Structures are given as structure tokens and as C-alpha cells.
Amino acid sequence: MMTPRRRERLLGLTALATLLFTPPLLLMADRIENGIWLPVYLFVVWGIVIGLAAWLLEGHAED
């Protein structure tokens, strides 16, 4: 069963991921250095989101 605290953290992660993948931030990454940084930005942000989700969903004894 998911605790309310874990649910709040996952909702926060969803909000953060939504913010990081909004078009204004993607366009900023696309315009830096002739579009070289967009794939790097997408890869890094996607990895961070997956890593945080794995960390949050892994069962912790204190939750």
C-alpha cells in the first residue's frame, strides 16, 4: 500500500518532470550551440526522472 507521503513525493516528481519537459525549456536547450544541447538535455533529464522514480518507488523501511 502506498503511503500518503510517498504519493505526495510521486506527485511532486510528476510536476517536476512536466516542468522540465515543457516547450520553453526545450526551446532554450535547442537554441544553445546550434541545437547540440537538446539531445544531451533530454537524455540527462530523462535519466534523472527515471532515477528519482526508482528511488522513490523502491521500498524504504521508514515509509
Taking only the tens place, the pLDDT of each residue in 41-60 is 999 999 999 999 999 998 66
**Quick one: average pLDDT of 10-21?**
95
Taking the CA atoms of the chain, what radius of gyration do you get in angstroms? 15
**Quick one: average pLDDT of 17-45?**
89
Q: Domain segments of the chain: what residues?
A: 4-57
Alpha-helical regions (H) of the chain: 4-20, 23-31, 37-57
**Quick one: average pLDDT of 9-19?**
95
Tell me the C-alpha distance between 50 and 53, whole Å.
5
Rounded to the nearest integer, the mean pLDDT of the chain is: 88
Q: When comparing pLDDT for 52 and 3, which is higher?
A: 52
